[in-house]
Amino acid sequence: MTVISINISAQENDQQNNKQVNALILQPITVTIGGDFIVTGSFVSSKLQRLDYFITSIFTGAEQKAFGSLTQIETIRHVSIVIKKYALRDITLKRTNGEIRKIDLMKFRLTGDFANNPYLLNDDMIIFPAYDLNTNFVEIIGAVNKEVKFQFVDGDGLADALLFAGGINQAYENRQQFLRDQQASMIEQLQKAEDQQLEGRGQREGERDAVA
């Protein structure tokens, strides 16, 4: 009888511990969104949510709210295009312990690498970079499975471009020449984007000087 009593006591302890762990996991947390996104501020989440699911949920709710008062089809289409223009790469995740991580949701959605889709923690801050098709995007076209224009992030190379384009089309024969051409094209596009950024920065500084 003593053995049975000990076993029951151990099971009760395990059950109690499991309840405490579940309560801790399910406890609401606060996550803040900042930067260039459809909506910013602090929102309720849980430790069971990963970043991509959280962002998608917040976006969907804000999108539905934005469409709530619209009646004209053309207006709805225009708003839909505008609000979907937010960065999926170079997202900054800041944590209260001082950790700062760069998140690439575009790569996560292609590769399933959860390093780019972590679980959320209380008081996390997610910051979206500016989304500008004219200054920080690169286009890859030609003998690829999917022609694509993607947001450039420091450190990107031809391998990243081919990942986003779904690789080289197997029907294309001169693969090496294509790779050389695309590498040259990327360099040219990045130089052009950098020049545009410098030009834009100069214009803003000139405007500030004029106001002063």
Mean pLDDT of 128-147: 83
Backbone phi, then psi, for 129, in 5-degree steps? -75, 165
- Show Cβ contacts of residue 101 under 8 Å, excluding neighbours closer than 6 positions: 92, 93, 95, 118
Mean pLDDT of 23-33: 83
Tokens of 201: 């920065």
- Does the structure show a pLDDT above 90 at 79? no
Sign of the CA dihedral running 196, 198, 199, 204: positive
DSSP SS3 for 133:
coil
Biggest alpha carbon–alpha carbon distance for the chain? 90
- pLDDT tens, residue by residue, 32-42: 999 999 999 99
pLDDT in the model for residue 109: 96
> How far apart are the C-alpha atoms of 41 and 130, rounded to whole Å?
17
| SS3 per residue for 70-131 | CCCHHHHHHHHHHHCCCCCCCEEEECCCCCEEEECHHHHHHHCCHHHCCECCCCEEEEECCC
pTM score: 0.72
Reported confidence tier of residue 185, pLDDT bands at 50, 70, 90: confident
> How far apart are the C-alpha atoms of 70 and 193, rounded to whole Å?
36
